[in-house]
């Protein structure tokens, strides 16, 4: 079965800093990959997804992620974070008919 690893558990940044959150999945073949965000007190929302095609995927709020098949990775990036990006971020991979989530990365952005 697929699994997802998020190695950054807690990231603290100042506003305008660049962000990269790691995500690795366990095995190859055709993969569907997702990044979800959970703002404090809210439910999960989709940031972006990769199904096929261009490995550089652009999502909402200036986020992007790059699918690197050789590294089994799907890292999330943002060139300049804002205080409003404070949230928990989850990487997820489709495994047959299930969506498997990573343990999440808590991002705190200070003004």
Partner 1 sequence: NAGVTQTPKFQVLKTGQSMTLQCAQDMNHEYMSWYRQDPGMGLRLIHYSVGAGITDQGEVPNGYNVSRSTTEDFPLRLLSAAPSQTSVYFCASSPLLGSNQPQHFGDGTRLSIL
- Secondary structure element (H or E) that encloses residue 72, with its range: none
Residue 71 DSSP code: G
**Could you tell me the smallest distance in angstroms from the CB atom of residue 16 to partner 1?**
28
Pick between residue 14 and residue 103 the one whose CB is nearest to partner 1: 103
Pick between residue 72 and residue 101 the one whose CB is nearest to partner 1: 101
Q: Which residues bind partner 1 (CB under 8 A)?
A: 6, 9, 32, 34, 36, 42-46, 49, 51, 90, 94, 96-104
**Could you tell me the smallest distance in angstroms from the CB atom of residue 98 to partner 1?**
6
Pick between residue 71 and residue 98 the one whose CB is nearest to partner 1: 98
What tokens were used for 74?
A: 């799907």
Q: Which of 20, 35, 23 is CA-nearest to residue 72?
A: 23
**Could you tell me the smallest distance in angstroms from the CB atom of residue 92 to partner 1?**
8
Residue 63 β-bridge partners: none
3-state SS, residue 18: coil
Pick between residue 3 and residue 84 the one whose CB is nearest to partner 1: 3
For the chain, state the CA radius of gyration: 13
- Strand-pair category, 56-58 with 64-68: antiparallel
């Amino acid at each position: 079965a697929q699994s997802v690893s998020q190695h950054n558990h807690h990231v603290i940044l100042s506003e305008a800093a660049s962000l990269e959150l790691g995500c690795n999945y366990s095995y190859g073949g055709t993969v569907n990959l997702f990044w979800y965000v959970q703002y404090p007190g809210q439910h999960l929302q989709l940031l972006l997804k990769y199904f096929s095609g261009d490995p550089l995927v652009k999502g909402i709020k200036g986020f992007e992620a790059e699918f690197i098949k050789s590294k089994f990775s799907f890292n999330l990036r943002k060139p300049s974070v804002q205080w409003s990006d404070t949230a928990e971020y989850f990487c997820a991979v489709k495994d047959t008919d299930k969506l498997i989530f990573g343990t999440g990365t808590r991002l705190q952005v200070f003004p």
